[in-house]
Structures are given as structure tokens and as C-alpha cells.
Structure 1
Amino acid sequence: MSKSMVVTVILLAIFLLCSPSSVAILLNKLQLPPPVIGPEALAFDRNGGGPYVTSSDGRIFKYVGPSEGFKEYAYTSPNRNRTICDGFSDFSNIQAICGRPLGLGFNHQTGDLYAADGYYGLVKVGPNGGKATQLVGPAQSNSTVFANGLDVDSNTGIVYFTIASTKFQPKDFPTALLTGGIGDNSGSLLSYDPSNNQTTVFLRNLTFASGVAVSGDGSFVLVSEYFANRIRRVWLKGPKANSSDLFMLLAGRPDNIKRNSRGQFWIAVNTVTLSSGVRVTENGIVLQIVSLVEEYGLEAASEVQEYNGTLYGGSLLASYAIIFTP
């Protein structure tokens, strides 16, 4: 590790653990229909509708306003049983029947919503919602494809997504958390091109690949390694194309990554006692850190997204998404 990188890690650790980082002001809690939990990821459609959020019972919900709240928009399992699944909120084998969407992203040109489902892989929901179509799934019915993070290149329509692990399933995440993912580097970063249905693997041997985000100019894509406390960068264009490097190290575990309209990135980062949103430049320079302890406590924040100047947050374990401002 270079001296400059060591300095970056030390400074970020000071920011996260010691310094008075920006305090988020909660504007609203967007409550999911009880007892559903787990708005791990959020997305907005091309008309500004939403947020759309993932949930623990395999459904994707759309927020339609303060009077009606969240309404069901889609579901990811091809064999979903409402009697068993609706309202399901536990880590168990039932989730394999119901599905567990974890990453979301719209293709704003087509109106299609893509989701990374922890059991069914990469799926697509048409502009009218409803049942998802599986695009990239497990090779066999009993194999594990723990799809996790997702982003769509707004220029090409190519979908980038992560496989967190081929050893663990979403129901096993509490166990993985206790062990810190030791010995599991089975994660990967992939892309799916809807123009030819081609899937490409960019990186293998990742330590629980979680979030992913494409740069504004499409020259690179970032992928977070949750249990390795780092983010890697894969170059898609230019002299470094088809190579990867270390984008940044963090003093906590990075989850989802979301690009804002200025080409910067918001990263959800968690330590044992602190959930935060970290805003960085396309060169990995930290611009802002927003504490989310009051909003999520120890229910780790999974995503921070900036949309039209407002910040939105999600969590794997909370029963609500949040709207807040730093």
C-alpha cells in the first residue's frame, strides 16, 4: 500500500470515528407495509416516480405519495406464493421461494426496471410492473447466485451487477457477518448487454461484492468488497481499458454505491457503531460524510442516493426508507 493510500485510510478513519461529520436532518420516513422490511436499494423511474424499493418478501414497491404510501409494483420469483410470501421478513429457506431483490436500476430509455435478486440472479421488470423475467440465473436449481448490487449505464443500457458470493445465500448473511466473510472470495462483477443477451465477467475472486456504479462518462465501473473494506475500479475505456485497480480503502464496510448528477459517488459505509453516507469524487477524494446513526442506529444503512438535490437512504433490516438532507 502506498504512503498516500495509508494517509487516505487514516484520515477517513478519523472522519468516520472521531470527527463531527455532517448530521443528517430527517425529513420523512417512508414506511413499508407491515411487517415487510428491508428496502435495501432504491430507484427512480424516468418520470421521477418513486422511490421504488426492494423488500424482504420478494416484492418491489413503489412510493406513490404520503396518502397511499408504498404500493406493490413487481415481484421477482417466478413461482411466488402470496399465502406464504406476503409479509415475510425472516432469514430462512422460505426466502428462496419468495425471492429477495437487493439491487435496483432503471433503463430510462426503455422504462425497464432491472433487479439483482439474491436467489434468482438478474431479472427484468417491464414498464407496467408485475412478474419479473429472469435473465441471468443459477446454472442449476440448487446452485447459489447471490446477486446483490446493480447499476445501468444510461448511455448504453448495459447492466452491471455483482454476485456477492457463491457460497452464501441471503438467508446466510447473518452467519457471513459473524465470520466476516473469512475464506470467501467467490464474488464477481458482471455485465449484461440487453442488445445481444450477452453476459460478461469482469472481475472474479472478490470478497463479498456488494455495490456497483458506472461513472458518468462510462469509462469505468466501481465495485465494493464489503468484507474487505475496499472499492475496486474496472476500466472500460481509454488506455487502461480491461484492467482494474484499487479505487479506495475505507475504515468500514462499503455497501451500495450510487452516482449523483454531478458524477460523484455516494457510498453507504458501516462500522460496528456507525452508519454513514460518504460522498467522493470520481478520483476517490472524500467530500462529505453524513452520519445516519440517528436514522438507522445499528440497522446498517445499505444505500444512500442523491436525487434532485435530496438524499434517500435504505437499509437491509429497517422497515422504512428515509428522506433526509445533510
Structure 2
Amino acid sequence: MTSQRTGPEGFAFDPTGKGFYTGISGGKILKYIPGKGYVDFGYITESSKSQLCDGDLGNKNMEKCGRPAGIAFNDKTGELYVADAPLGLHVISRGGGLAKKIADSVNGKPFLFLDGLDVDPTTGVVYFTSFSSIFTPGDVLKAVASKDATGKLFKYDPSKKVVTVLMEGLSGSAGCAVSSDGSFVLVSQFTKSNIKRYWIKGPKAGSSEDFTNSVSNPDNIKRIGSSGDFWVASVVNTAKGPTNPSAVKVSSAGKVAQTISLKAQFGDTLVSEVNEFNGQLHIGTLFGPFAGILSLKK
């Protein structure tokens, strides 16, 4: 990844398993093709392709360019859903190109700061979060420092084309992940060092509970295939900034099964996502000019 392109915050993998997709500053979605490198796949706005959105300008002009945060495929349709931090929920068709905006508000209230996203592998329903309902992406540090608790979890049902609010009062709701059987969705609270579980199906459907308090400053959460486990990107947030980034594997019961320190490879980078695919961990960063790949020991 060149210095003009920064912040590969999250990853998505299409059914072909050839390469990966990531969203970066300036409103672009890139596809990484082994042996070839990064190629443009999609973009949030027409401006995303212009010099107005290159490099540092992309962050300064976020409201015009977009800033993809959470991304995930609907494997059945081939559509790529994108939670764009300032510009709302979008979808990109199987062939790539300009994204279609689905929603930038719910019940008349603008999203302001979207973050995590996942697609239910059993139904195709999209779940996504807002980090805050008061602060914008440019004020993320203020949101964390003030312990803002206005984050939300949303649901978008493509068959009904309706967005609904499932949870409110979340403190830095950065990531979400649906279980492989579609029975629940996890939501991280970065500021509280907590992960909540919202039940989609079963006797507890529509209710939420604490899932774990054992992961420090959890960011994105990603399910590990059909194993029932999840990877969580974690840091220790201090007054001087994030430190000790790690990949934390959590079981479906909320127990920490494994912790891998990422400091030796990536320093004190604000690691935003840890996503396992084909025996490798793909490491995302909020500000860094790289996407990391770490092979798992067999």
C-alpha cells in the first residue's frame, strides 16, 4: 500500500477466496490480488476518484470523499456492504464501481459516525454500529475521552429495505459480528472494554447481555468461519495513545481462548481489525499505511 493510501480499517473476502478487499481513506475500496497488488474496486462518492481525496486530503475532505469503516460481503448475492463513517450505509454491486447509498439516517436522525458492520450468513440481514450519535469521525478522540455513550446497533433488512435501531446507549460501539448460526450478534464497546451480545433468535431474542469484559478496548470483531469463535482487535488505550495491540480469540461462551501480541510486528499501532482467512490473520489499522498479514502456527 502506498503512502497515499492509509487506514485499511477492515477486510472482506469474496467466495472465490482470491485476495481480499479493504476500505481506505479517501473513500475507496481496494482489492488485493496476489502477485499483482492493490487495484481499485469501488468508491463511495464520485469525488473519491479525484485528487481531492488523495493522501491526507482524503481525511480532511471526509465528508465529500467518504471513509469506509466496516465492510462485509453477502456471499449469496456477491454484494459488498460498507458502513462509511461519515456518509452512511452503502452497498457495492458484485462488479464494483460507485457505491449505492442505502441510508444516512434512521427515524430522521443522521448516523454521524458509523463504524462496524457484518452480514448474517444465514439470512443476509446487515448489522452495523455507530460509534457515537454526537461526535463525528474527526472527533473520535473526544468521543473516547468524554466516555460518550450514544453509540447504537442497527439492523438493515434488504428484503424490507428498512433500517431499525436494536440497541442504544453504547460506549464507543466499534465493531459487530454475527454468530455463524445467526443466533446472536456481538457488539464491542471500545470505551468500556466490554462486548455485548444481542440475541437475534431463540428464547432471548430481542434482549442483550454482557458477553465479556476480558478484552481491553475491543475494536472490530470477526467470526472465525463456522468454528463458533471470534477474533477481536484489542489495544490498551492510555492518555498517551494506544499501546500493546493484540489479537484476542474469544469463544462463543465469551471466554478468552488465545491472545497474540502484535506489538513486535506492528509497534503501538491502533489495530482496528483481526480477520482470519486461509490460515492467516489480516491486520487492519485505523491510520497506518499498511495492511498486515500474519501466518498462524499450525
Asked if these proteins are the same fold (TM beyond 0.5), I'd say yes
Equivalent residue, structure 2, for 1:241: 205
Equivalent in 280, 286, 289 of residue 319 of structure 1: 289
2:268 is matched with 298
**Aligned AA (1:325):** S
Please list every run of 5 or more consecutive structure 2 residues that lacks an aligned counterpart in the other structure. Answer: 237-241
Residue aligned with 1:164, SS: strand
Instruction: Report how many aligned residue pairs link the two structures.
Output: 290
1:1-326 superposed matches below 5 A: 32-66=1-35, 68-77=36-45, 79-80=47-48, 82-88=50-56, 91-92=59-60, 94-138=61-105, 143-177=110-144, 179=145, 181-182=146-147, 184-250=148-214, 252-261=216-225, 262-271=227-236, 272-326=242-296
Cα pair 2:27 2:58 within 8 Å, conserved: no
Indicate if the aligned counterparts of 2:28 and 2:48 stay in contact, CA closer than 8 A: no
Distance 2:110 2:224 in 1: 35
- The answer for unaligned runs of 5 or more in structure 1 is 1-31
8 Å contact from structure 1 (residues 38, 55) kept in 2: yes
Tell me, yes or no, if the aligned pair for 2:14 and 2:78 is still in contact at 8 Å. yes
- RMSD, aligned α-carbons: 1.9
Once the two structures are superposed, residues 168-199 of structure 1 have per-residue CA deviations (whole angstroms, 9 ceiling, x without a partner) of 1112223334x1x42x2111001111111021
Higher relative contact order (CA 8 A, sep 6+): 1
| Equivalent position amino acid for 1:270 in 2 | V
Give the Cα separation in 2 of the matches to 1:255 and 1:267.
Answer: 7
Structure 1 stretches of at least 4 aligned residues deviating more than 4 Å after TM superposition: 139-144
Distance change in 2, residues 1:154/1:139 (3 Å): closer
**Are the counterparts in 2 of residues 118 and 145 from structure 1 also a CA contact under 8 Å?**
yes
1:83 Cα deviation (Å)?
2.3
**Structure 2 CA distance, aligned partners of 1:158 and 1:134?**
16
**1:50 offset after TM fit, Å?**
2.4
One-letter identity of the residue aligned with 2:273 = E
Q: Decide which moves more: 73-82 or 284-293.
A: 73-82
Change (3 A) 1:83 1:91: closer
Task: State the TM-score, normalizing by the size of structure 1.
Answer: 0.84
State the identity %: 41
TM-score w.r.t. structure 2 length?
A: 0.92
The structure with more radius of gyration: 1
Q: Deviations over 1:226-284 (max 9, x none)?
A: 10110000011111111100000135200000001212100001004200010011001
Tell me the amino acid that sits aligned with residue 83 of structure 1.
Q
Say which is worse superposed, 120-129 or 134-143, in terms of deviation: 134-143
